[in-house]
Amino acid sequence: MMVGERMIQDPVSVTPQDTLATARAKMQAGGFRQLPVVEDGKLVGIVTDRDIRWNRKQMMITKVNAAMTKDLVTVTPETTLEKAAQVILQHKIGGLPVVKGERLVGIITTTDILKAFLDVIGASGKAGKNPL
């Protein structure tokens, strides 16, 4: 199974010039722990809930670009879920931006991969399947 089949397409994102308060509000509204940072359609970073916690006293004035991770680990829609899971474990991260070239097309998280695993083994609890 490929990442493109399970990724969240067109994920919520922020720009480098947004404040950390804006990023935090988007994270809280969507229940996210990370947001891709996009400028002119190009993925330039990722900001996490940890980045925001480290800057919580200044989040109203601190720009995303001051706290984001710029050295990114990414996958493509053609990457296998197994490879994406290995990358997540190797780097001890919660998700991966999915790119085509430099353009963000999605995000795949540990939750997405676990759901796919449960679907494959028939334990997702969907109609017609046996829940655990």
Average pLDDT over residues 108-131: 80
Q: Residue 129 above 60 pLDDT? A: no
Q: What percent of the chain has pLDDT over 70?
A: 95
Q: Residue 130 above 50 pLDDT? A: no
> What pLDDT was estimated at residue 123?
82
- All structural domains of the chain with their residue ranges: 3-121
> What pLDDT was estimated at residue 126?
65
Q: Cα 29 vs. chain centroid, distance in angstroms?
A: 15
> What pLDDT was estimated at residue 34?
95
Q: What percent of the chain has pLDDT over 90?
A: 86
CATH topology for the 3-121 domain:
CBS-domain (3.10.580)
Q: What is the 3-state secondary structure (H, E, C) of the chain?
A: CEHHHHCEECCCCECCCCEHHHHHHHHHHHCCCEEEEEECCEEEEEEEHHHHHHCHHHCCCCEHHHHCECCCCCECCCCEHHHHHHHHHHHCCCEEEEEECCEEEEEEEHHHHHHHHHHHHCCCCCCCCCCC
Mean pLDDT of the chain: 92
Average pLDDT over residues 39-56: 94
pLDDT tens across 52-75, in order?
Answer: 999 989 999 999 999 999 999 999
pLDDT tens across 23-32, in order?
Answer: 999 999 999 9
pTM: 0.86
Residue 14: φ, ψ to 5°: -130, 170
